[in-house]
Amino acid sequence: MRVRLPLAAGLLLGACLCAAGPARADYVLLRNGSRLNVTGYEILGDKFRLHLQGGIADVPVEEIASIEPEEIFEPSTEPLSEKTPYQKLILAAAARYHLDPDLIHSVIAIESNFNPKAISPKNARGLMQLMPHTAERMGVKDSFDPEQNIEGGARYLRDLLAKYKNNLTLALAAYNAGPESVDKYGRRVPPYLETMKYVQRITKTYAKLKAEATGPGSGQPLPNAGS
């Protein structure tokens, strides 16, 4: 499938112009502000051939602004325990919003690897990577404060699970891509590689934690994972 992109998208190439074949790239930022998650790219003369989920797109070099690596954290798969960073905050937020602590644990592990000062290229912040507008809506004044961030992230996750009738797959997709995107595609996971990978990684981590948990957070059933 050939994907036709709107004209206007650009790049600061730097050393990557020297690439001579398929290479790995996680994000391509276009001059029109679009941000594409790609599995790789090739340089073909004055064009970049971007490898997208389900197809390719040929984009003129001058339309590309930058190529950025995707931040991927290797999650902790240790069950929630006293050794888990911010365990007490996770348990408190889970109890307040009737969530499984292991779910909050999984989201934090994938989103920031427990780094309270993490900032994504999209400006998501803190342990649960809250976008500024989401943080404001959830009453979070300081996204870098672990207690506020976990509180806001747990509340947002609770709201999404309620919106999608406890469907974990859709709630996680909405947490990553926004509920507008999930609703736009008929309440299905949006066809964005980043979002599909995100949902897969968290559900896999969550299932592993639930299977191995022997301490706090092991007693609640998993939300419905159907789509």
Active site residues: 111
Mutual angle of helices 193-212 and 168-177, in 10-degree steps: 130
Q: What is the 3-state secondary structure (H, E, C) of the chain?
A: CECCCCCCCCECCHHHHHCCCCECCCEEEECCCCEEECCEEEEECCEEEEEECCEEEEEEHHHEEEEECCCCCCCCCCCCCCCCCCHHHHHHHHHHHCCCHHHHHHHHHHHHCCCCCCECCCCCECCCCECHHHHHHCCCCCCCCHHHHHHHHHHHHHHHHHHCCCEHHHHHHHHHHCHHHHHHCCCCCCCCHHHHHHHHHHHHHHHHHHHHCCCCCCCCCCCECCC
Q: What is the 3-state secondary structure (H, E, C) of 167-189?
A: EHHHHHHHHHHCHHHHHHCCCCC
Cα atoms in the Cβ-side hemisphere of radius 13 Å centred on 159: 13
